[in-house]
Structure 1
Amino acid sequence: MFSKIQHLGYQVANLDKAQEWFLHIFGGEFVPGRTSPNGGRNGFVHFGQIEIELIQPADTSFIPDGEMVMHHVGYLVPDISEAVLHLSKKGFKFVSDTPNVNILGQKVLYFDSTTTNNCNLHLTELPASPNTAGYGSGLPVIDIVHAGYLVKDVSEAVAWYEEKFDAVTIGGIGASRRGARNAYVNFGNVQAELIETDDLNLLKGETIILDHIGLVVDDIQKEIGTCQTHGVAFVAEQPMTNRIGQQLLYFNKESSLGTGIHLTQLPLE
């Protein structure tokens, strides 16, 4: 059902500064969005073959200085109406009976977060002629391999994905280098990484929260160098390989506005 991760959405304190940061680090093009009656604004950054949404809410007091906050994941589907029918049978609810249409012409429909463990998710259907401004330029990111989440109990999180999204766990539940255990779940053509944390304070009272994004590149060594020329520092000198064969290297969070970002090179099939 899910064709790909259409975009990750971030909340930012200053939309202009945030888009400047993305364009400096990743290149591409910024597509301005709309301004809401309460003063909030948004826009989209396209680089490589991916999309990022930036949202400046009316109240930015909760966003730490010099940081951005991961807000939502948008999943691409061929037909929103059919997806809603299928997902409703799984117990999901949605915030509206009809999707919104954004500045890019995309149909967007958010899940009711009471049915997604308080995670912000939305379905996306592309228009017949999508806005491709910026695609093919900047850092050659092929795809978003996964959204990563911190979870209270990885076994429970995996079971939820298996029940709700018919997910398949790849590589089992195993030891994580960042927490107690982790798992990778595939559903449709997308993936989520679930990372159990030893520090429950990081969850801020939730059972699952967004933690990071993985950006797929063909040649991780080359693109590490490209990012370094743009001022990015990484957490290590060389990428590590996880148990499902993905090579990855995280940005130092001081280089990524306080959020988790890693480059990823997929294993050869």
Structure 2
Amino acid sequence: MEHVLDHVGIAVRSIDDALAFYLNVLNGTLEDQYTSDAPGVEVHVAVVRTSDKMIELLAPTNKNSPMARFIKQRGKGVHHIAYRVNDLDKAILDARKKGVRFLEDTLRTNIRGRRLIYINPASTDGTLIELCSYANINNSDD
């Protein structure tokens, strides 16, 4: 199964403060901005497209959110790398057969329709990796 780089998630304290760099220096375009108050997510998101890839700026909605804990423990910066797959269920099954463990409670569909799950960083030598698929678009690179 093909895994295509979909986006990079960047932990920031403030979307407004971070946006200037991505829009003015990297010449990105703000594609979407939303807030997810779902328990265990609790994040403000700004989706920025650069010439060829997407970046998600992720800011905590409150001081107890998972993103706030991440920033407190590891600081601002890269939070995760996301790979798009054609069939998320098959990708999960294939990875499990190879011994990959997932953060099971992260399997969900976000408010923009992206299905996703995070791989346990113990299986990736420390990097948080998201696998995702989109129900409303063709996931192939054709």
For normalisation by structure 2, the TM-score amounts to 0.75
- Write out the 4+ residue segments of structure 1 that deviate beyond 4 Å after TM superposition: 60-64
| Pair 1:21 & 2:29 matched | no
User: What's the counterpart of residue 34 of structure 2?
Assistant: 33
How many residue pairs get aligned? The number is 128
Matches of 1:124 and 1:43 in 2, distance apart?
18
Identity %: 26
Pairwise CA RMSD of aligned residues?
2.7
Say if 2:30 and 2:46, in contact at 8 Å, map to a contact too: no
Larger Rg: 1
Q: Deviations over 1:28-47 (max 9, x none)?
A: 12411324368642221123
TM-score w.r.t. the length of structure 1 is: 0.42
Change (3 A) 1:62 1:96: closer
Structure 1 residues 215-254: aligned runs within 5 Å: none
Structure 1: 5+ residue stretches without partners: 131-188, 190-269
Indicate yes or no: 2:116 matched with 1:108: yes
Deviation sequence 1:3-34 (CA, Å, 0-9, x none): 41000111112111112321112231241132
User: How big is the shift at 1:52?
Assistant: 0.6
Q: Which of 44, 56, 59 lines up with 2:59 in the alignment?
A: 56
Q: Distance in 1 between matches of 2:85 and 2:93?
A: 12
Q: CA deviation at 1:81?
A: 0.6
Q: CA deviation at 1:61?
A: 4.4
| Residue 73 of structure 1, CA deviation | 0.6
SS of structure 2 residue aligned to 1:22: helix
- Alpha carbons of structure 1 residues 82 and 103: separation in structure 2 relative to 1, 3 Å: same
| Structure 2 alignment gaps of length 5 or more | none
Report the Cα offset of residue 97 of structure 1: 7.0
1:120 counterpart residue number: 128
